[in-house]
């Protein structure tokens, strides 16, 4: 669900919750960015549906999933997870998907050095064309694979220097997938003063 025109925070929509606690439910758009084949769809599927499909097809354009995260104050954050196609030919359209995003997960494959190099492209792209207040996380996916082409410490240093969340994940095993999205959700909620 996108924000109504004129709302104060891009990608976020606060509504009264039907729960007896009278807490609010926050809705936030989260977009997954990165090269083709890095595991964006697999991370989204693991987080939103708790499963892994080793034969997932290439995403054309974008796919949409949802998941609710409970915040420390007891309120809920409903994440609208947009999984974008990572093929080069779709890059010209990608900005349409991260417009109004409250958060972004930039995914790279830790077995592919080229995909790590693309992280900086996506960070710059979001900084120049994305919403002013878009929380960013970098996911080093496929951490379950023993042979890695990329040292996580290098990317962690880059993320620390730029105020980005960094998490090593495995969509296949589920390692740190929940932590990735929950940590990003907490940062989005902090932007709202939660």
Q: Does residue 100 lie within any of the structural domains?
A: yes
Q: Does residue 5 lie within any of the structural domains?
A: no
Burial degree of 167 (CB within 10 A; 0-12, 13-18, 19+): buried
- Domain with 92, as residue range(s), is 21-191
Q: Does residue 83 lie within any of the structural domains?
A: yes
* Average pLDDT, 10 consecutive residues per value, the chain (194 residues): 35 40 74 91 92 68 76 88 67 72 96 91 92 95 91 94 97 96 94 70
Q: Does residue 4 lie within any of the structural domains?
A: no
CATH code (residue 139): 3.40.50.300
Distance CA 143, CA 152 (A): 10
Per-residue pLDDT at 73: 82
Q: Does residue 16 lie within any of the structural domains?
A: no
Q: pTM higher than 0.85, yes or no? A: no
Q: Does residue 12 lie within any of the structural domains?
A: no
Per-residue pLDDT at 61: 47
Q: How many domains does the chain have?
A: 1
Q: Does residue 186 lie within any of the structural domains?
A: yes
Per-residue pLDDT at 173: 96
Torsion (CA) 21, 46, 32, 159 in degrees, nearest 10:
90
Residues with Cβ within 8 Å of 168's Cβ and at least 6 positions away in sequence, in order, are 110, 139, 140, 143, 152, 175, 176
Ramachandran angles phi, psi of 31, nearest 5° = -115, 140
Token pair in block for residue 184: 């990003």
Q: Does residue 14 lie within any of the structural domains?
A: no
Token pair in block for residue 173: 């095993």
């Amino acid at each position: 669900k996108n924000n109504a025109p004129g709302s104060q925070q891009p990608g976020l929509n606060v509504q009264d919750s039907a729960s007896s606690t009278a807490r609010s439910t926050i809705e936030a758009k989260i977009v997954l960015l990165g090269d083709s084949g890095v595991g964006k769809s697999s991370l989204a599927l693991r987080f939103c549906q708790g499963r892994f499909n080793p034969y997932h097809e290439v995403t054309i354009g974008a796919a949409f999933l949802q998941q609710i995260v409970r915040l420390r104050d007891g309120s809920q954050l409903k994440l609208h997870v947009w999984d974008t196609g990572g093929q080069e030919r779709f890059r010209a359209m990608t900005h349409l998907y991260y417009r109004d995003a409250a958060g972004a997960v930039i995914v790279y494959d830790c077995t592919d050095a080229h995909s790590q190099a693309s992280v900086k492209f996506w960070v710059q792209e979001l900084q120049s064309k994305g919403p002013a207040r878009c929380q960013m996380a970098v996911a080093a996916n496929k951490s379950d694979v023993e042979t890695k082409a990329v040292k996580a410490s290098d990317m962690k240093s880059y993320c620390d220097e730029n105020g980005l969340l960094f998490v090593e994940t495995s969509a296949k095993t589920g390692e740190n997938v929940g932590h990735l999205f929950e940590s990003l959700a907490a940062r989005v909620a902090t932007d709202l003063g939660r």
